[in-house]
Structure formats: C-alpha cells, structure tokens
Amino acid sequence: MVSPCIRQPGWRRWPNPPRSWSRIRSRIWSPVPEFGSRVAARTRSKESLASGHCLPPLRKAPLDANGRAVSAIDPAIAAAARGRGDSVTSRRALLRAAVGSLLAVPLASAAQQPTKIPRIGFLRTDRPPQAYVDAFEQGLRERGYTPGQNILIEYRFGDGTNAETSRLARELVNLKVDVIVAGGGRATQVAESVTSTIPIVMTSGTDPGGTGIVASLAHPGGNVTGTKTLGWDLFGKRLELLRQILPKVSRVAVLHNRINPTPPGAWEEAFAAAATLGVNLQRFDVQTPADFDEAFAGIVRSRAEALVVVQSTIFNTPPYRIAQLAASHKLPAVYGSRVTADDGGLMSYGPNNRDSYRYAAAFVDKILKGAKPGDLPVEQPRKFELVINLKTAKALGLTIPQSLLLRADEVIQ
C-alpha cells in the first residue's frame, strides 16, 4: 500500500503541509497511550487521517532511567512540546482564574461581614425601680441575649410628662431601634403615637383593648403587643383588704394619675364597690410627682382614714415618696405594686410587675426572630401577690389580723 504522504502521479500537492509531530502531540491530553505502543500508533493514524494530515514516521518513545516509556503528559516533555497555540489556552486559563478571584472577593466579604446586633429601646415616662430593669435584662439572658454583647439596649426615662416622653420616643425612632419596650400604658400610647412601624412591647398596659391601643387582646393587630395589668380590675379587692385591717373605716381617699389611660366605666365600678362596703370614696388627681404634696394636703383636709393608690408608674418613682408621705401623715394605704410595699408601703396587692418586665423579653425574642406583634396575643397576669409590711403596720399602730398574714405571699418584718 502506498503511503498517502508520498506524492503520486496526478495527485495535487497538499494545501496545508502536515504539522510537526511535536505540535500534534501537544494537543493530546490525558489519558494518552504511551509512545511506541500499537494503540498509540493506531490512535495517531486515525486522528491524523481524519484531519487530513499525513503522519511522519513513528519514533520510538523516550525511556526513563528504569527503561519505561515516558508519557506525553510528563512535565518535561509537555513543556518542550508546547506549540504556538498554547499561549491562547494559557491566557484563557489565566483569565478564568482572574475572573474567579474577582467573584470570590464579594463572597468572602459577605461571609466575613459581622452579624447585625439588635437594638432595643426601653421607654418609660419616669425612672423605673432598678428591679424592673434587672428583671428585663434577666429575661433577655434567659433567652440567650447578653446586653452589651449580642444585644444593645437604649434606655430612655422621662420626667413624668407626655411632652418629654414623646421627645424620647422620637429619639428612639431616629436611632432605628428594632423594638421599643414601653413601661406602662402611658408610655405605650406615646410610643404608638410616634411610630406605626417599629414593634412595641408594652409592660403592664392599662386595659389596652378598652383604650384602643390594640384591636383586641387575642388579635392585637398593628404594631403593639405585650402584657396588660389589672389595676382597675382589682380595685374592689384592694378596698376589701384595707377594710379587713380597718373594719370601721368609712372615708377612703383615692390617689389617681389623671393622664393615665383609664378604662371606660372604671370610676363608676370603683364607687359601686365602695358603696357595697359602706365606704365613701374621695378622688384626688395628680399629674406629676410635683403634685404629691398638694394632693396629700387635700387628703388630710378631707379627713380620710385610709388611702387606695391606683397603680401608675409615677407612684413607683424613687425614692417612693408616696409611701413616705403616707407614713408621715399616719395614713394606712394599699398599693398595686409590691415595690412600694418593699420601700415602706403598708400593703400591696396585684401582679408582680417584675415578672411583667421579665416576660417582656419573651415578646422581644419572638419579634426579633420574625414574629409580627399584631399576631402575638396580649397576655395578662394569672398570679397576684399580697405583700404586707409589718414594720410599717407597727409604726402606724395597726394590728394585722392573723388570717390576713396567713394569706400573704410575703410578710416584711
């Protein structure tokens, strides 16, 4: 058989001379049969004939020191066998590597970007007892948050006025806090008036359904949820407890914060409960702690024999002047918050507000994890504490019935 690479009579010259074997060899990638083998010869023959190129005579493959044929992918041979077209391949590989590096930069930056630390606003119309602040932070720790590390808290305490509280609420909005914790019904109303988008968690809110803060307790809607207090709901019960200590009492003063949210019909129910017990109520309103002295002067003039303090944040303001004023005027008083009894008040009956602040952290946690405040039902306390301060009772010359002491959750000696 005549080799196709030998020119025969009548044949035309090949338009493209065959490439050198070294260039053909440079295009062969792994796996490549060893040079000199029959498989390699057949492979080269088929590929070259299909491409229209003639084959040069086969050369014996080089051997290594052990007498074995060296593969075409041997680095030394591959380096010597590179042809002119290999520079294009190298440039393409280099370009791909460069593009990959550029794409990897933003991905690496995103992976290294620190996680956003949530920021919580804590709003009160006045400075709260430290026990409330400690309870809230304790609730956060119980849920894996450490203030100052993986959560930030912006505390804002007003001077008792709505104007200052509103200014502080707008300040929290400008800080773009993730959640606002509002202590009490009035702080909740102020916060709601300045933002309809930032979630608000109220603590001890006064009748949020009746005052329109939420659509309903089960389905709050809007941006407010949290816990409600039972201040007015327990008014009759507090009056009964006071009557057990003072069986002959007939005139009782009621101290009330006039700008606090008051449920519809609350006063009517209070007067009805007093009438059932044969007690005449006398109402005294205050707006700020600056009004306390004048209010007590009026209570003394009215010859009231005892006092019921309607729960409000301003009555818990340190140094708890309400308890001090009541003691100085020899006026037995019952309060809605146990912190007042702890600080010298005669007696308190109601939910433990520290638990309300501690539980507010549960609402914060749910909201930070994606829950909508309008979908979280408002909760109310199920446990109520009776705290009696025997030291104050002795100072007032009162004897507490043994039956009442046995019912007390705590007796302060």
* Better-predicted residue by pLDDT, 172 or 32: 172
Structure tokens at 199: 């979630």
At 42 the pLDDT is 46
How confident is the model over 338-353, as a mean pLDDT? 91
Kindly state the percentage of the chain with pLDDT values over 70. 72
Question: Is residue 367 domain-resident?
Answer: no
Confidence grade of residue 105 (pLDDT, cut at 50, 70, 90): low
The confidence score (pLDDT) of residue 81 equals: 47
Domain termination site, one of 33, 66, 87: 87
Is the pLDDT reported for residue 34 higher than 90?
Answer: no
pLDDT for 311 beyond 70: yes
Name the residue with higher pLDDT: 398 or 89. Answer: 398
Phi/psi at 6 (5° precision): -90, 130
**What residues have CB less than 8 Å from 388, skipping those under 6 apart?**
341, 346, 347, 400, 404, 405, 408, 410, 411, 412
Q: Is residue 356 part of a domain?
A: no
What is the average pLDDT across 53-80? Answer: 51
Residue 208 in any domain: the answer is yes
Residues 250 and 187 in one domain: no
Q: Is residue 168 part of a domain?
A: yes
* 153 and 277 housed in the same domain: no
pLDDT value at position 385? Answer: 94
pLDDT tens, residue by residue, 109-159: 555 556 889 999 999 998 888 999 999 999 999 999 999 999 999 999 998
**4 within domain boundaries:** no
* Judgement on whether residues 281 and 200 belong to the same structural domain of the protein: no
Same domain, yes or no, for 268 and 341?
Answer: yes
pLDDT for the residue 256: 93
**pLDDT > 60? residue 297:** yes
Q: In the prediction, which pLDDT does 65 show?
A: 58
- Tens digits of per-residue pLDDT, 368-386? 999 999 999 999 888 899 9
Determine, yes or no, domain membership for 241: yes
Residues 236 and 337 in one domain: yes
* 223 and 244 housed in the same domain: no
Helices (H), 246-279: 266-276
pLDDT the model gives residue 43: 46
Note the pLDDT of residue 78.
47
Q: Do 175 and 302 fall into the same domain?
A: no
Indicate whether 46 pLDDT > 50: no
375 or 98, which is more confident = 375
Task: Tell me the mean pLDDT in the region 294-317.
Answer: 92
Q: With b meaning 16 or more CB within 10 Å and e meaning fewer, what string describes 349-383?
A: bbbbbbbbbbbbbbbbbbbbeeeebeebebebbee
Based on the structure, what is the number of domains in the chain?
3
Domain encompassing residue 34: 21-87
- In this prediction, residues 304-308 reach a mean pLDDT of 97
Q: Is the pLDDT of residue 273 over 60?
A: yes
| In a domain? residue 99 | no
> Could you tell me if 146 and 215 lie in one domain?
yes
- pTM reported for the whole predicted model: 0.69
224-256 tens-digit pLDDT: 999 988 778 899 999 999 999 999 999 999 999
Neighbours of 347 (CB within 10 A): 27
Please tell me which residue, 377 or 264, carries the higher pLDDT value: 377
The yes-or-no verdict on residue 58 having pLDDT over 70 is no
Higher per-residue pLDDT: 367 or 320: 367
CATH code, 292: 3.40.50.2300
Tell me the backbone φ, ψ of residue 192, rounded to 5 degrees.
-65, -30
Instruction: Indicate whether 218 and 245 sit together in one domain.
Output: no
Residue 63: what pLDDT? 57
Cβ atoms within 10 Å of 323's Cβ, excluding its own: 25
- What percent of the chain lies above the pLDDT cut of 90? 54
Buried b (16+ CB within 10 A) or exposed e, 35-74: beeeebeeebeeebeeeebebeeeeebeeeeeeebebbee
Give the pLDDT mean for 202-231. 89
- On the question of pLDDT at 411 being above 60, the answer is yes
Same domain, 248 and 328: yes
Residues 282 and 388 in one domain: yes
Same domain flag for 249 and 224: no
Q: Would you give the end-to-end CA distance of the chain in angstroms?
A: 124
User: How far is the CA of 392 from the CAs of 243, 324, 325, 410, in angstroms?
Assistant: 17, 10, 13, 14
CA proximity to 373, closest of 209, 242, 225, 227:
225
- To the nearest whole number, what is the mean pLDDT of the chain? 81
User: For position 100, what pLDDT does the model report?
Assistant: 63
